[in-house]
Chains A and B, each alone.
With several copies, the nearest count.
Chain A
């Protein structure tokens, strides 16, 4: 099975890239392995408790992607800077502030993802 990796750097709402990434991943998941690496501000995307009155909940969207098999990882340095930390794993996540299915990992995971990918898409402002 071919693999697509998506690299994101923007947080939710401020730009539309979380939503575009979600549409790409949703489509690709029907046939392919999908990895998503959350870098810089994108580590805010899986934060629990989002309640955007006028937009679609980005955390739920990404949690849904993880449920469908997407491997979603957040950069540990970027996450720690912004107050998200890895702890013991519950519900497929190792961060209590994150939606299920999304883990904090080292930046080396990005390199691993790229090595195993057939295509890479990066989206950023």
Chain B
């Protein structure tokens, strides 16, 4: 495998899956071509201004920023369905339509869903 696509389809904070997907994607940067795709409820991770201090858990947006070399794409139809398109989003993320999102999946050697 030379490339891996991690698909995150669960919301951040309510479950460890977003944290797990970010960590797994980060370690995979070492030697592989990595894409993290936010899809379904995973697109909530794209909201700008997350502050998890009072919740006492890691700030997942900060982890995204920390791995600037990680390619993160956001499934735009999922954003629209969730009324997130009008909100401020993390600017380093790439919004993609369904066609481009699927092509990114198909262009990777494997797809991992947590």
Contact = CB atoms under 8 A, between A and B. Distances in A.
Interface of A: 7, 9, 13-16, 39-40, 54-56, 77-78, 107-108, 110-111, 114-120, 122, 124-125
B31 A111 contact: yes
B16 interface: yes
Most A CB contacts (10 A, CB to CB) among B14, B16, B20, B23 go to B16
A66 to B, nearest CB: 21
Given A78-B20, A110-B28, A122-B113, 10 more contacts: A15-B14, A15-B15, A40-B17, A114-B32, A115-B1, A115-B31, A116-B1, A120-B110, A122-B112, A124-B114
Interface string B89-111: 00000000000000000000011
B30 A13 contact: no
B30 A40 contact: no
B60 to A, nearest CB: 11
Given A107-B23, A107-B27, A124 B113 contact: yes
Given A7-B112, A40-B114, A122-B114, A111 B27 contact: yes
B47 interface: no
B24 A39 contact: yes
A108 B27 CA distance: 6
Given A15-B14, A56-B56, A119 B110 contact: yes
Contacts of A14: 15-17
B88 to A, nearest CB: 24
Sorted nearest first, the 10 A-B pairs with minimum C-beta distance are A120-B110, A122-B112, A111-B28, A111-B27, A54-B58, A107-B27, A14-B16, A114-B1, A108-B27, A13-B16
B20 A40 contact: yes
A56 B57 CA distance: 8
A110 B24 contact: yes
Contacts of A9: 17, 20, 114
Contacts of B4: 114, 120
B15 to A, nearest CB: 5
20 contacts: A9-B17, A14-B15, A15-B14, A16-B14, A39-B114, A54-B19, A54-B57, A77-B23, A107-B23, A107-B24, A107-B27, A108-B27, A111-B27, A114-B4, A114-B32, A115-B2, A118-B1, A120-B110, A122-B111, A122-B114
